[in-house]
Amino acid sequence: MQTFPLFLSLQGRRALIVGGGDAAARKAELLLKAGAQVSLVAGTVGGEIAQLIAEGHISWAGCNFHDGELDGMSLVIVATEDEAEQARVSAAAQKRCVPVNVVDRPALSSFIMPAIVDRSPVTIAISTGGAAPALARRVRAEIERSLPAALGRLARFADVFREQVRRTLVVPRARRRFWDRVFEGRVGELALAGDEIGARRELIRLLDGVRNETASTGMVHLVGAGPGDPDLLTLKAHRLLQRADVVVYDRLVSDEVLSMARRDAERVYVGKRRANHCVPQQEINDRLVALARAGKSVVRLKGGDPFVFGRGGEEVEALVKAGIAVEVVPGVTAALGCASSAGIPLTHRDHAQACVLVTGHLKDGTVNLDWEMLSRPRQTVVIYMGVGALKQIASQLIAHGLPPSTPVALIEHGTTERERRVVGTLATIEGQAQRAILTGPTLCMVGEVVGLALSRDQEFSFESRMGL
C-alpha cells in the first residue's frame, strides 16, 4: 500500500484552490459538495469558476499566491499549469503540514485525489497512487454499475437504528451478525425499494427475535485457499472470509489471500513448515473446537484444497467427534493451479493418460512411496512437499525404470507474482534445485508433459529466467 486511505471531514473548514481553469472548477465542485469553504487564487478566471464566484459559492482571494493564503487552510489543491507556481505552493503547504494536491503531479502532492463513487453517505474512493488515473476511473465505472443508486438510502436507514441495536446487542459479534442479516435479507430489500415503514417493521421484528435467541455453538468452515493467487478463490470462500470471526491459517496461505478476510477478524497463525510444525496438529484441532464452542464463526484457511494433503480429513474427524458443525469448501489444489500457471498439461493424449498426486513427506517423516507404481510410463506424477527429499525421489524413480532424461519441473510460489520455475531432468534436478535455493512452497512435477511445455516456452528454465 503506497498511500494511506482516509476520509477527511471538510464540513465548515477552509480549502484553497490555486488556478482558474476547468480542472480548478471540477475540484471546487467536489470541495463544495463536501461542505468546504473554498477560496481561489488565480490570475484569470472564466467559465464555471467565474460563475461560482459570481453566485457567491467560492471567494476570490486575488491573482497571486503568497504564503499567508495558507493561514487557516485545511487543504490545498493546485490546478494551475505554471510549473514554478506548482512547486512553490506545494513546498509552502508541506512546510506547514497542510495537505496539498497538485493536479497530475503526484511527486509534488502529499495526498492523491481519488476517483469517487458517491452514494452519500456511502463514499467509495479508488486510487492508483497517481500511477494510472485512467485505470482508477475505469474501476469507478465498474463499481458504479454494480451498486444500486439507492445504497445511500439503506445507509441512512441503518443509522436511525444504530444506537438502538447497540443497546440491545451488547456483544460486538452479535451486532455484526445482526447487521449482516439486515443488509442481506428482506429489511435491506425493503429499504432499497423505498418502503421505509415496512423496513422498520421488519427490522424491529428481527431485533426482537435476535434478543431472545440463546447463545449457540459456532461453526468451522475448512476453506481451500488455492495455490496463492487470490483470484482463484471460490466465491463461497471469499464470502466466508468476509463473515468470519476468526481465521486460522498456516504458512501455505499467501498474504494476498489472507488479506481477503474481514479486517477486524481475529487471525490465528498455526505455522506448519516442512519438518517444523509451529503448532502440533492435535493442538490445532483443539483450538478449532474451542473457538467454535465460544460461539465464533471460524474459517480454517488451508493452502490448495483442504482434502488434498491438507490434513482436512483429520480436522473434520476431530470436529465431528466434538459435536461441532463443520463445512468443507473446496479450493484449487496446487497441482492444478501450478500446472496451469506453468503451462504444463497434467494429461495429454500423446504423453500422459493418468495423473498421480503423492506427498513427498509422510506422517513419520519417511518417503516410503510405491516407487514401482510411480515409475510407470505415460503418466504425470505430482509430488507435494518433495523438495527436501528430491535426491531420494529422483534416484528411486530412476532405479524403478524411469529414464534419467525424464523431464522434471519444480514450481515455487505457483500462481503468484513470486513464482519461480526450475526445469531439468531426473538426473539434474537435485543440483538445479540447490542452485535455485527454493525456500517457499514448491511443487514437483515429473513426466513427458513437462518437456512438452518446455519445448513450447523456453522461459520455463530457471537459468534463462534468472539470467544465469
Model confidence over 428-468: pLDDT tens digits?
Answer: 999 999 999 998 889 999 999 998 875 444 444 433 333 33
The verdict on whether residue 334 carries a ligand-binding annotation is yes
pLDDT of 273 over the 60 cut: no
The verdict on whether residue 451 carries a ligand-binding annotation is no
Predicted confidence at residue 215, as pLDDT, reads 61
CATH number of 14-113: 3.40.50.720
Percentage of residues of the chain with pLDDT beyond 90? 73
The verdict on whether residue 152 carries a ligand-binding annotation is no
Could you tell me the pLDDT band of residue 314, with boundaries at 50, 70 and 90? Answer: very high
Q: Which run of H or E residues covers position 334?
A: helix 334-342
DSSP 348: B
136: helix, strand or coil? helix
- Over range 1-15, report the average pLDDT: 91
Q: Is 250 a catalytic residue?
A: yes
Predicted confidence at residue 366, as pLDDT, reads 64
The verdict on whether residue 294 carries a ligand-binding annotation is no
Q: Where in the chain is the domain with CATH 3.40.50.720?
A: 14-113
- CB-side neighbour CA atoms (13 Å) of 387: 21
The verdict on whether residue 56 carries a ligand-binding annotation is no
User: The whole model's pTM is what?
Assistant: 0.73
Amino acid in position 107? A
Of the candidate CATH numbers 3.30.950.10, 3.30.460.80, 3.40.50.720, 3.40.50.300, the domain formed by 335-466 belongs to 3.30.950.10
The verdict on whether residue 234 carries a ligand-binding annotation is no
Predicted confidence at residue 144, as pLDDT, reads 92
Of the candidate CATH numbers 3.40.50.1000, 3.40.50.150, 3.40.1440.10, 3.40.1010.10, the domain formed by 219-332 belongs to 3.40.1010.10
Percentage of residues of the chain with pLDDT beyond 70? 93
The chain-wide mean pLDDT, for the chain, equals 90
Annotated catalytic residue, options 250, 286, 302, 321: 250
Phi/psi for 262 (5° steps) reads -55, 135
pLDDT of 176 over the 80 cut: yes
Q: Is 236 a catalytic residue?
A: no
At 42-60, the pLDDT tens digits run: 988 878 889 999 999 999 9
Q: What is the DSSP string of 364-402?
A: TS-----HHHHT-SS-EEEEET-GGGHHHHHHHHHHTT-
Annotated catalytic residue, options 27, 272, 296, 302: 272
- Over range 62-84, report the average pLDDT: 93
